[in-house]
Amino acid sequence: MSAILEIADVSRSFGGVQAVQKVSVDIPRGEIMSIIGPNGAGKTTVLNMISGFYHPDHGRILLEGTDITHLAPSEIAKLRVARTFQNIALFSGMTVLDNLMLGRHVLMKSGVLSSFIYWGLAQREEVAHRKRVEDLIDFLKIQDLRRRPTGSLAYGLRKRVELGRALALDPKILLLDEPMGGMNQEEKEDMARFILDVNEEWGTTIILIEHDMGVVMDISDRVAVLDMGLKIAEGKPDEVRVNPAVVKAYLGETKTSEVRHG
Amino acid sequence: MALYPLPIAKYTVAALGVLFFLVLPLSLHEYYLSIANLVWISIIGALGLNILVGYTGQVSIGHGAFMSVGAYTAANFATRLDFPWPVNLLLGGLMAAAIGAIVGIPSLRIKGLYLAIATLAGQLIIEWTINHVTFISGGVQASIEVPRPQLGTVVLNTHREMYFFLLFFVVVAIVGTMNLMRSRVGRAFVAIRDQDIAAEIIGINIFRYKLLAFAISSFYAGVTGVLYTYYFGIANYEQFQIGVSIDYLAMIIIGGLGSVLGSIFGAAFVTLLPIGIRYGMEAVSGVLFSEATVHNLIPALRLTLFGALIIVFLVLEPEGLNRLWRNIRSYFRVWPFAY
Ligand SMILES: Nc1ncnc2c1ncn2[C@@H]1O[C@H](COP(=O)(O)OP(=O)(O)OP(=O)(O)O)[C@@H](O)[C@H]1O
Ligand SMILES: [Mg+2]
């Protein structure tokens, strides 16, 4: 089996909280793998460890066989792992275009001197990379927004631009933390379409965290389920759906939320 | 976004610019050119500080000290080794860049006010060092005279000659800064200012780029210091004390943070303000105050006005004069049809 990413026996705690405990997941190349689980299950923490924001207390993370457990986020980006955030982290003062160009930062080379002189090297590089960015702008259908500062965009569009910035890296692996959170049904369908298209057109491996079960079951090749930091199930969507442990974890959550609202 | 909707308008502006900045100075009185020269030098310094503070979002109160590093480096090479000015200019810039990067190291861990204090410490340490290490400062006076710069066989003596000499560097600095900010490195600076977590995730090494911003900014400061030195013919530490750091912060705040045009406006404004005040006060002197009182009042009035203006701009128009200029321009673009 060709796993592009191996998460091996990874744990991480914050103070007294065991956010992730001995979780192992292999992410097969070219597939869409979803990570689901109730609030606070440790999903975002897993992404944070893959992208280098947190390092695990125990365990290892291997990208194509190379140990990336202790690399810094900027080094992991160089290995073509891109990501979006649960609560959007765009450069809000900058235009959509600049945000996407920034997504290609590690693929570009111009240093201080050639940037200062600009004409020649830096300009040629700008033009070449702008082409790819324009393709992405067409792909995401945000042609009208090019020059808009991202801070002025509606929520759903900001999520889309953030996806665009991640795609601009030409990623091998795309980590999406609740890309449909807070969206209406139509926006969710658009986003699901984009994710499927990215996977099909460029063969990008995708790790997706999402709460909307309908979407998850529809678009995932595999699903891993976390609950209170533990992996309680993994498999094809149909298998996971009927897994008793999963059902229990979700029912438990429903009950507590009923209690909370009642 | 059509800045100049018709090509003809663009050429007109360019022609007016040439007329105003290149032809007119040929006949202006030297006094006015000496003022213009001070504005030119300060534009370069303000651009440098704006790269760090306005674009990258790192506060610094050490800009004056970085200028002195450039100034004394150049002066020492000029007098001890007889190096020509272009070499000294480069060495002054590079030395300031190196020192600036070192002073910028705390920016990895601290932000805002704390970073301001750390750079202030840098300013004071550099001031003290230059003042007390005679190897650097050249003796008790802590000042070093340098020979006039030369172009080929022409020695640049007059304000008029210096005007064109300095104008060249101003143009290079303005164009270069605009280029820097519209390409990879400049975008990374702004990314760090806007959202440092996102900047990391797209692969920007925050620490490296913060130090780079300090180095570039200090390079500009170093060059500014060298140019002051060649302009006045002397490197003098009194010219680069903490007050100067504050003046430059005032320039970019009043002119507009994160804006090239704002740096230019701010530099011109802050340089011209005391001269304006002096004219104003001299006009009313004799009438309201005695001549001596006026003389004492000017520095105090200047500081008061600066303080007031910084507060006014921070509160009312954080984008500075640059914003006011944009408003005026868009007003006239639709004039006489208001909206
Ligand atoms: N930086 C941190 N400091 C302290 N505790 C943290 C930190 N990050 C996460 N945690 C804790 O770890 C646990 C898992 O959090 P995590 O954000 O990974 O959950 P999640 O599955 O993404 O939840 P959600 O669905 O709400 O986004 C939570 O109890 C959380 O409070
Ligand atoms: Mg989360």
How far is the C-alpha of B202 from the C-alpha of B129, rounded, in Å? 41
Nearest CA to ligand 1 atom 26: A39
Q: Which residue of B has its CA nearest to A76?
A: B203
Binned at pLDDT 50, 70 and 90, residue B191 comes out as very high
Q: Which residue has the tokens 């020492």?
A: B76
| Per-window interface: A 140-159 vs B, CB < 8 A | 147
Q: Is the pLDDT of residue B7 over 80?
A: no
Helix (H) or strand (E) holding B257: none
Q: Output the pLDDT for position A132.
A: 96
Overall average pLDDT of the B260-274 stretch: 93
Q: Is the pLDDT of residue A91 over 90?
A: yes
Q: Is the pLDDT of residue B183 over 60?
A: yes
- Closest CB to A103: pick one of B185, B202, B205: B202
Q: Which residue has the tokens 């060092």?
A: B129
How far is the C-alpha of A231 from the C-alpha of B292, rounded, in Å? 83
| Per-window interface: A 55-114 vs B, CB < 8 A | 72-74, 77-78, 82-83, 85, 89-94, 98, 101-103, 105-106, 108-112
Query: How many angstroms is it from A86 CA to the middle of ligand 1?
Result: 11
ipTM of model? 0.92
Q: How many CB atoms lie within 10 A of CB B138?
A: 18
Q: How many CB atoms lie within 10 A of CB A87?
A: 8
Binned at pLDDT 50, 70 and 90, residue A198 comes out as very high
Overall average pLDDT of the B158-186 stretch: 94
Question: Strands of A17-28's sheet, edge to edge?
Answer: A17-28, A3-14, A58-63, A66-67
Rg (CA), chain B: 21
Local structure of residue A233 (DSSP, 8 states) = E
Summarised one tens digit per residue, pLDDT across range B15-44 is 888 877 887 888 888 888 999 999 999 999
The answer to which of A51-65, B56-70, B242-256, B319-333 has the lowest mean pLDDT is B319-333
Decide if B212 and A85 are in contact by the 8 Å CB cutoff: no
Nearest CA to ligand 1 atom 31: A40
Q: Report the Cα–Cα distance between both ends of chain B, in Å, rounded.
A: 17
Q: Is the pLDDT of residue B170 over 50?
A: yes
Cα maximum dimension of chain B: 66
Binned at pLDDT 50, 70 and 90, residue B1 comes out as very low
Size of interface A-B (CB pairs under 8 A): 103
Decide if A110 and B184 are in contact by the 8 Å CB cutoff: yes
Summarised one tens digit per residue, pLDDT across range A125-162 is 999 999 999 999 999 999 999 999 999 999 999 999 99
Decide if A115 and B186 are in contact by the 8 Å CB cutoff: yes
Closest CA to B193 of B213, B171, B218: B213
How far is the C-alpha of B325 from the C-alpha of B279, rounded, in Å? 25
How far is the C-alpha of B291 from the C-alpha of B297, rounded, in Å? 10
Overall average pLDDT of the B81-105 stretch: 95
Q: Output the pLDDT for position B2.
A: 47
Q: Are B170 and B40 spatial neighbours (Cβ–Cβ below 8 Å)?
A: yes
Between B301 and B263, residue with greater pLDDT: B263
How far is the C-alpha of B73 from the C-alpha of B61, rounded, in Å? 20
The string over B220-232, giving b where at least 16 C-beta atoms fall within 10 Å of a residue's C-beta and e elsewhere, is bbbbbbbbbbbbe
Q: Output the pLDDT for position B286.
A: 66
Binned at pLDDT 50, 70 and 90, residue A254 comes out as low
Domain A1-80+171-262 has CATH 3.40.50.300: yes
How far is the C-alpha of A259 from the C-alpha of B325, rounded, in Å? 58
Query: How many angstroms is it from A11 CA to the middle of ligand 1?
Result: 13
The 3-state DSSP class for residue A222 equals strand
Q: Output the pLDDT for position B311.
A: 87
Q: Pick the atom of ligand 1 nearest to A15's CA.
A: 4
Average model confidence (pLDDT) across chain A: 92
Indicate the burial class of A1 (C-beta count within 10 angstroms; 0-12, 13-18, 19 or more).
exposed
Binned at pLDDT 50, 70 and 90, residue B245 comes out as very high
How far is the C-alpha of B66 from the C-alpha of B240, rounded, in Å? 8
Our answer on whether the CB atom of A12 is closer than 6 Å to any ligand 1 atom is no
Q: Report the Cα–Cα distance between both ends of chain A, in Å, rounded.
A: 48
Summarised one tens digit per residue, pLDDT across range A100-122 is 999 999 999 999 999 999 998 99
Q: Which residue of A has its CA nearest to B1?
A: A147
Closest CA to A49 of A79, A69, A75: A69
Both structure tokens of B301:
């009035």
How far is the C-alpha of A227 from the C-alpha of A243, rounded, in Å? 13
Could you say which ligand is closest to the alpha carbon of residue A19?
Answer: 1
Both structure tokens of B329:
């321009």
Overall average pLDDT of the A168-192 stretch: 95
| Per-window interface: B 62-101 vs A, CB < 8 A | none
How far is the C-alpha of A118 from the C-alpha of A110, rounded, in Å? 9
How far is the C-alpha of B210 from the C-alpha of A130, rounded, in Å? 25
B-chain residues near A103 (CB < 8 A): 202
Overall average pLDDT of the A207-219 stretch: 93
Query: What are the residues facing A173 on neighbouring strands?
Result: A81, A205
Summarised one tens digit per residue, pLDDT across range B293-327 is 777 777 888 888 888 888 888 888 878 888 888 88
Summarised one tens digit per residue, pLDDT across range B278-289 is 888 777 766 766
Average model confidence (pLDDT) across chain B: 88
Between B290 and B97, residue with greater pLDDT: B97
Q: Is the pLDDT of residue A260 over 60?
A: no
Q: Are B92 and B78 spatial neighbours (Cβ–Cβ below 8 Å)?
A: no
Indicate the burial class of B301 (C-beta count within 10 angstroms; 0-12, 13-18, 19 or more).
middle
Between B238 and B193, residue with greater pLDDT: B193
What is the model's pTM? Answer: 0.92
Please state the domain extents for chain A.
1-80+171-262, 91-169
- Closest CB to B202: pick one of A105, A112, A117: A105
